Structure formats: structure tokens, C-alpha cells
Structure 1
């Protein structure tokens, strides 16, 4: 049986969910109040076709990219144009604000994300927290919640022009906090605009003593007329080394009992500035710049599992299994434009550039490579909260080889493996329902 065309796939997809959505729209447009609780969230489904896809080209598919044996490509693998589907669903269940007296209020929030019917990141909640608020003293949030470095870059910046993953889920930042406290200062009037400041601290997972996890984030949002500025700085110590800006901050290893085997700690940080400018009622321009820094992390043998397989830490930017690791820095950029040319129609285009890295590592780990990703999209609002959209794009690497250090994997974001192909393109359609 021949593969279905993109149009046929979309027709089947639309028929499958449109009936369900049509029944729910009258009752669920906007947040839903259920006693003391409020329910809102989103559901998104996409189907697409992309060139130069090779999902199993890596000889050891599940190995992290900075382990040297993960570099190898399996012999005889073919790559080409393939179709793909993805679904995301994330409900938010929050309490209404409870008045505690003397101006204090408290509320709670619980949320989890499912990707293709499975928990997006096993063992990690997106939201599981409580917040204390006061008009004069600000807000204090405790528990699990996303960082601003990921969540703001993901939405609205990345989502608005089709680069949510390439922009928000790359770089040296972390995206989800598991044991954190966040203090938000009261809104301040600065030069005719509104300034909001936040300070966040996360102590990571339990059981770490030699390499104690420490995470700090400072976030500032400034709104003045048509201009919005979002600035974020993160500094993390002894989180797992990675270039996945969506990743959770826990500890230097998945197993705290193994931390004594690790010789040195890990540090990484970002400084990011993003802006939105509403040029007129129809046109919005979005920009971003991010500076990344990794300390590097040496390779450490952690013993063997029950089957006799060697266990290793998550190393980063090493020269060899017995050699040192090296620090690295890089700079990434994003730029997008959204144009609403009719009440229900909009078009968008954008670019993400992940730059080459500066490092003293004499061994190539991807520091000499770069990535340029371009997107084009169109959206139509069928009903309030229910939209359909089309998208396309292309990716070009500086050269064929290991991916830039800002990428979590060699085939991340587009499915185009930089070791197999220098470029690729894609097109698809999707439906999104927010409530």
C-alpha cells in the first residue's frame, strides 16, 4: 500500500478530531471553572513531510552526542523524504486565588505535557507549585515550574514564527525546575513603562553532597507601548551537562549515589535578550540573541549495569575518554516577522542561527559547525481558540559533520542529521486548540 499524500493525511487528521473539537468549542472556549479549580490548556496536532530523514543512522541510537562512540554512523543506512506526525497536549489545573487576609492571596497550579500520548519528560512535572501573592510585596512561588529562559523563548517568541524548538530548546540553558523558589517583585514604573523582575533559585534533586546542584535565574520584562523586552540570565552549577535548553535541572548524574565517582563539577550559563515590537496593528517583529557558556565535563566510568554494560556519565566537549574537557562559548540569534493581513489570517517568517563555538579543544566536537534554519508559515483562526496552520522551512549546516555545540543532537529539531546531509527542507499542516 502506497504512503498517503500529505493532503490525504491532513484530511484524515482533520476528520478525526474536528468532530470532537466542534462538540467542545461551545463549552470550553476560554478557561473552565470547576468549583474552586480552573482548567485551561492546549492540544496541537501536526503532520509533515521532510527531506533527508534518517532516524536510525547513528550506530548507537540512544547514546548522548558527546560520547565519542555516538559519533559513528551505521553502514548501509539510507535517508530520504519521510512523513511524520506529532501531537502535544498540556492541560493546566489551577486553583482560584484564596484570600488569606491583609492583602495576601494564595493559589496552586498543576500541569503536565504529553507528546504523542506519552509524558513528555518522564519523572518531571511542568507545573507543580504554589504561589503566595501580595500587591505591595510581590509574589513567591515554590515547587516545580519552567524557567523563563525556556518558557518565554518557546512562547511567544519561538511559537509565533515556527522556531519554538530550534530557538528555545537549544543552547546552554535549562528549561524545567523541580525544586525551586521564585520571587517576583511588584510591578514598577520605569521611564513611562512597566518593569517586572524575578529571581529564581533551584537546589536540584536530593542526595547530592559532593557536587551540590545550584541554579540561579534573573528575569526582567519591560513593556513600553509597542515595545516589549525580555532579558534572562541563568547560572547553573552541577546540573547534567547538555545543550538542550528544554532539559530539566536535577543533578550532575541521574543517580545521586554515583556522584562521588565524578572528579569535577559542571557549570553552564546563558545570557539572553529578546524583543517584540508592534510596528502597527498588523505587523510584529521579534528578535533574540543568546550567549552560551559551558565549562565542559570530563568522561567518568560509573561501573556496569546488571547486564555487564559499561555505564558512563554525560560528558561534554572532551578530547578523549581519558583526557580533559574544555570550556566553550557560542552565540545564537533569532529573527521573525508576523503579519496579520486579515482579521483571521496571518503569515510569518523567521530565521534561527546557531553559531560556531570558541573552545581550546583540539578535537572536533562540532565547534566548527553552524546551523541556519529558515521558516515560513500561514495561520487561520476557524473559531476563537481553534486554528489551522501550514508551515515550511529549510535547514543548512555550515558543513557536513558533527552538529553545532548548541544542538542537543546531530538530528535535533528537523530530523536532518548533520553527519549525513548538509541541508534539508520540510512542509506540513497542523491544528491547535487552546482553552
Structure 2
């Protein structure tokens, strides 16, 4: 059996959201951000010629309880690796205050070239606590051509509908944007994609838009070429909106992180010959209905599928590579592995799995005030894996929220959140880490709470 390292690259998936603890040195920055948002002028795009600048900025603080500081022995290690399972003994549990800032500008350009044809481009990046959200990857860097009678063609880097629509408007409207949008077997960001969108079609007295997106992932993979396909449909009739999407992905990074970047099996195409193929995908339908001028109800259902990914040592310990010496063994990105049986040479089998997740939401508006409640249930998974990798666990997340719209682009909000795990142990398979979305670790406690206080400015 290959030597198991304390740490090994590639590390846990980037972007899994663990907010920074609140420290005295960060407090002035957080206060300044909040004051700056509150004093901002009327929300409007900044237009100059064919260019337009829009975006948002957000700052928030979140007390969490119970919280176990630095409980995992292998700090930051991927949940799929069994040496990340161990937690420190005799750790104290208490409250914890985390902070978060997000800033995302969108720079667009568009022009009409005649005959009803329009061309344009979009550039966008998100900064989390002052740093790129996914280092080296843009949220949007694409160009498009469109026609009112035929639809549009877009090429480049862009977000998927499986993440972006689940995140906004569905999840963010009821305080479960991360728990709903960033969980499951989907992907959220594409790097080399082509998207075809139809014009709105008149169907049953409503508007239907159809869309197909294809991505080829990171260059350099010859044997295990990345392939991604997403089909999307939106139907809008009166006060009813229904969104449906289906993702099929082959040879992307095996994960349960619906916000993740679709690239390749690992960050290193040099691993190609050492790995076998894997796949995953989702089928999801969501809907929202405006009952009257004040009340909106929403819901969603998602089926997840993973092929599983074998665990393989891609670089032996003490190996010199083009980037330096690798002291510990470097493993691939595995998924749902039976670590109890070595198949030989440090290879462990990854098993297929399926699960179903659910989202429900309710909003009530009265003038500038909006009250909301949301629920996400991440279900137990079905798999033949004889080892427990979280498939027998489930999680239910509930939120109660209150927002105030200052009508100048700024909105303040408070959200009380609760998480309940079915049992103490590894988190459900459709969660990217054992404490994702709540900072309450399922290996430590079966339930926890948090209170988020924040503000967002949209321009």
C-alpha cells in the first residue's frame, strides 16, 4: 500500500466557503465596507459609449455556534481522502464570528452591426476577501453574437445555469444560495465553452427559451478528454417561472461542489496516462410563483449522479517535478472510495452513487421589507461502497430572513440559520466538505446555528 501523506496535492476544492474568523484587525475594514455601501448613491449602471459597468459588493459577519476551531487534524484536506476524517480530541466547542466580503464587477460591451445583428463581450471576476474567488479563472470572459429572430451564440468562459440560476434568484432569495447552488454533482464555471440560446418561443401562451452549452475543459488531456454538456429550458407564463437543467460531465474534477470549475480530472494534464475516466451530472427542475403582489413561493428538486473515481498515486513521494520536489505522495482527485481494500500499488476503488436534494422557499414583501424562509434537504446517497463516506448521512438546512431595501441599490439583511444532520459522522455525499455552508462540522455535532448580518450594494 502506498504511503498515506499527512497532506497531498491537489488540496481540497478551491472556493468551498469557510469564512474568515473576525479579528480586531479586520473589524475596521468590515465597518468601512458597510458604511461605504450605506452611503452609496442610487443604483445604476455606469455607461460610457458602448461599454457598461455593473456589479455588486457585499460584506457580512456571521456568529456560528457550536464551532470547533481547527478540529480537523489534516487542516484543509479534501473530504474524499480518509486521512482527512480524523478530528482532534478534547477540543473546546463554542461560538465563532466569521466575516466575508464579496466584490464582483461586470464590464460589458455591445454594438449593433446592422440587419438586426448585435455583437458584444462580457468580462467578470469575483473577489472573495480581496482575492480571486477561483485563482486563475474568470466568471465571465466571453463574446457573443445575437439576433432577435434567431437567438444567440456565446463563446468563452461563463457560468453554468445549474449553478447560477440555483444561486440567484432561487437560493439567494431565501438565504440558501450556497447550500442549494454550491452542493450536488454539478459544475458552476466553464472555461472554454460554446452556448447556443434560442429566441423566446411562444408556447401555451407563455415564453419558452431553450439553450445548450458545451465545454471542452482544460487543454492538454489526450486520453481522458474533458467534456461537458448542459441543456437548459426556461418557461415563463404570467406569474409562473419554471427552470429545468440537465448536466452531463466527463473527466472533470470529481467532486460534490456545484460551484466548481470544470477543468480536468486533476490540475495536472501530465497525470492523464495514470488515470481512468470518470463522470457525473445532475438533473434539476426549479419553479417560482408570484401568488400576489406580496407573496412568492419557490421550490426545486435535483437528482445527482457520480460514477465514482478510483484513488491513485499520481506522483510518488520524493519526486522532482517541473515545479519542484514533491515530498509526500501526490494523489488524484478521487470520489466515494472504499479505502478498506488496496487493489494493489496503492489503488483504491471508487463507487458510483446517486442522491436527491430538495429546496423550498417562501417570501413576503411589504414596502421596503422582505421576510423569507428557506429549506434545503441534502439527501442520503445510494451506493454499493462498503465503506462509509457520508452516503448514510443527510442534512436539513433552514433559514429565517429579514431584508430592508433602501431603494438606492443598498440592501441590509439578517438571516438566522439552522442545520440538522441525520447522524454524527461524515457529511452527506452532496456536500463538498464536512462543515460546508454552515461552518458546523457534522463529525463534531449533529446540529448548529448561525446568524448572518450583512449588506449588499448593486450598481
Q: TM-score, normalised by structure 1?
A: 0.94
Alignment partners' CA distance in 1, 2:287 and 2:142: 28
Aligned residue for 2:189? 176
Aligned residue among 420, 423, 427 for 2:444? 420
Aligned residue for 1:57? 71
The answer to whether the 8 A contact 2:389-2:426 is kept is: yes
Alignment of 1:282 with 2:294, yes or no, is yes
The answer to whether the 8 A contact 2:397-2:417 is kept is: yes
Tell me the secondary structure at the aligned position of residue 356 of structure 1. coil
Aligned residue among 312, 332, 336 for 1:313? 332
The answer to whether the 8 A contact 1:396-1:422 is kept is: yes
Query: Offset of 1:376 from its aligned partner?
Result: 0.3
Q: CA RMSD in A?
A: 1.8
Alignment partners' CA distance in 1, 2:399 and 2:106: 29
Aligned residue for 2:353? 328
Query: Offset of 1:137 from its aligned partner?
Result: 1.6
Aligned residue among 281, 284, 287 for 1:269? 281
Aligned residue for 2:45? 31
Q: Which runs of 5+ in 2 are unaligned?
A: 1-21, 320-324
Tell me the secondary structure at the aligned position of residue 25 of structure 1. coil
Tell me the secondary structure at the aligned position of residue 158 of structure 1. helix
Query: Offset of 1:68 from its aligned partner?
Result: 1.2
Alignment of 1:354 with 2:378, yes or no, is yes
Aligned residue for 1:302? 314
Alignment of 1:249 with 2:262, yes or no, is yes
Q: Which runs of 5+ in 1 are unaligned?
A: 1-5
Tell me the secondary structure at the aligned position of residue 332 of structure 1. strand
Aligned residue for 1:384? 408
Tell me the secondary structure at the aligned position of residue 258 of structure 1. helix
Cα deviation per residue 1:141-199 (whole Å; 9 max; x = unaligned)? 00000000000000000000000000000000000000000000111000000000100
The answer to whether the 8 A contact 2:38-2:410 is kept is: no
The answer to whether the 8 A contact 2:415-2:452 is kept is: yes
Aligned residue runs from structure 1 range 135-284, under 5 A: 135-262=148-275, 264-284=276-296
Query: Offset of 1:23 from its aligned partner?
Result: 5.3
Tell me the secondary structure at the aligned position of residue 156 of structure 1. helix
Aligned residue for 1:3? none
The answer to whether the 8 A contact 1:55-1:415 is kept is: no
Query: Offset of 1:103 from its aligned partner?
Result: 2.0
Query: Offset of 1:259 from its aligned partner?
Result: 1.2
Query: Offset of 1:15 from its aligned partner?
Result: 5.3
Instruction: Assess, with a 3 A threshold, how the Cα gap between structure 1 residues 418 and 124 changes in structure 2: closer, same or farther.
Output: same
The answer to whether the 8 A contact 2:37-2:456 is kept is: no
Count of residues paired in the alignment: 424
Using CA pairs under 8 Å that are at least 6 residues apart, name the structure with larger relative contact order, 1 or 2. 2
Query: Offset of 1:123 from its aligned partner?
Result: 1.2
The answer to whether the 8 A contact 1:9-1:47 is kept is: no
Alignment partners' CA distance in 2, 1:102 and 1:36: 18
Cα deviation per residue 1:76-130 (whole Å; 9 max; x = unaligned)? 33222111110111000001x2122222110000000001111111111000000
Alignment partners' CA distance in 2, 1:232 and 1:378: 30
Instruction: Assess, with a 3 A threshold, how the Cα gap between structure 1 residues 230 and 379 changes in structure 2: closer, same or farther.
Output: same
Instruction: Assess, with a 3 A threshold, how the Cα gap between structure 1 residues 415 and 204 changes in structure 2: closer, same or farther.
Output: same
Aligned residue among 124, 147, 153 for 2:137? 124
The runs of 4+ residues in structure 1 deviating greater than 4 Å are 8-15
Alignment partners' CA distance in 2, 1:72 and 1:195: 50
